[in-house]
Chains A and B, each alone.
Chain A
Amino acid sequence: METYYRPSDLGKFSDMGRANEELWNKFQAYYQAVFAEGTLTEREKALVGLAVAHAVQCPYCIDAYTQACLEKGSNMEEMTEAVHVACAVRGGAALVHGVQMRNVATKLSM
């Protein structure tokens, strides 16, 4: 079945460098630096990446960061907790906008 998302496309990510190698190289250098061990370990950064992948709902990122988390030694429980963090922040983001709803409703109501 034809689909917008194909797993094999993840392997073609570097094709994005074809029409602008300079920007691609800058992005790659930045990306590598971000995920290198710093104050946070590589394992912790992969878990953050996994949570963000779910928040932005990117199937490529979910695929890549699930593998990355396993390869950094994380287990299913830790990865599930990370996804719940993304879920809680997204859910909270929706809920906190309820304050805006309340502000508008209060202003309009008698």
Chain B
Amino acid sequence: METPKPEIPKVTLPQMETLTETSARIASRSGPPSPASATVEPRWARWALIGTAVAFLSLFLLLPLVAVFTEAFRLGVGLYVAAITDPDALSAIRLTLLTAAIAVPLNTIFGLAAAWSITRFEFPGKNLLGTLIDLPFAVSPVIAGLIFVLLLGARSHLGGWLNAHDINIIFAAPGIIIATAFVTFPFVARELIPVMDAAGIDEELAALTLGASGWQMFIRVTLPKIKWGLLYGIVICNARAMGEFGAVSVVSGHIRGLTNTMPLAVEILYNDYQFSAAFAVASLLTLLALITLGAKAILDRREELKIRRSLIVDRTNLAA
């Protein structure tokens, strides 16, 4: 016969109840109206709201995304490849890359300079400067193109002079680059202003006291603090630079193969009834947009950039 082992009584430490659990326990005991049910929507309302939001976003965002790629591959992969390796398409891709390669660095330097002067110094007209940085948001892309045609086109004094010296700006690549730079100049500045504001100047002052020069301080201290905000601004600026259509359409003059960027090539192919080719080029631009959104989503998670959201009101106030 086996002798039963003496049972060792289990000792469990009394678990601390958190304050929320206590209140939840009390609330559940005290019956309705319980605070828990009053701070949460009823289940049917929750599902109705989620359903509406998902339906709206699917209709306006997901459906167009699916449509671009469906239309692009409608006539098969062979024609898709043929469309994006066509000499006209390739020259449009080259001009788009060139435009971004010039406009984005220019606007990055501008953004750094503007954010530095606005967040580090007090001066009369600071609010006005903030408003001026937002200017392109208030100007229709078509008007953005128009002002450069008026300034640099053959009718103006400046344009006449340029013409006499055989310098083509309007209806040529330089015009496209200038118009693109105009449309995209706010983006880096607007991302950097709140980031620099939040980063403060304590470390910079310390660096200066320790004998750093202005450049050393900027490269070694400021830049590392704002790098993610800077990258964020550059990503957005680049997406807009490669995708600008209205302003570029006005200054390009539509010379086939010579002054077309990718968004213009999309229009020309479409108006030529080469729908699949138009959507093939469009799919490349859509891919760029998706990569931009992905990069944005990743950067959004970074701690330094979280302040951006909460500062959205103050930031626009700065521009007031």
Chains A and B form a bound pair: no
Interface of A toward B, CB cutoff 8 Å = none
Interface residues of B (CB under 8 A from A): none
